[in-house]
Amino acid sequence: MEDLTQDEWAEQLANDENAVVLDVRTDEEVADGIIPNAIHIDIYKGQEFIDAIEALDTSKSYYVYCRSGNRSGQACQIMEELGFEKAYNLEGGMLQWTGDVVDFES
């Protein structure tokens, strides 16, 4: 797991052909908007979260974020324990995100 600043995260994401953006916030938080092309898996769903993470491709690079960077850091640690080698946490989360945000469509 690696903690990346907003600029590092955005730059690395833009140059990564294997990138997957992962939003681990709650449904209520996601209703306020989501980073474009992100997939949403709520970390508070417990085993359902683990099951969804285990279904992901471990060879991809995951750019993970939440509201402030805490839950996404936890998600990256869980992913690491499950065999993911490339999980990047967005420091400061959506609170500090200055990039694009779109409406979430489930």
Place of tokens 């990256």: 76
Active site (annotated) includes residue 66: yes
Choosing from 64, 66, 78, 94, the catalytic residue is 66
C-alpha dist (Å) from residue 87 to 56, 98, 101, 104, 106: 12, 21, 21, 22, 23
Tell me which residues are annotated as active site.
66
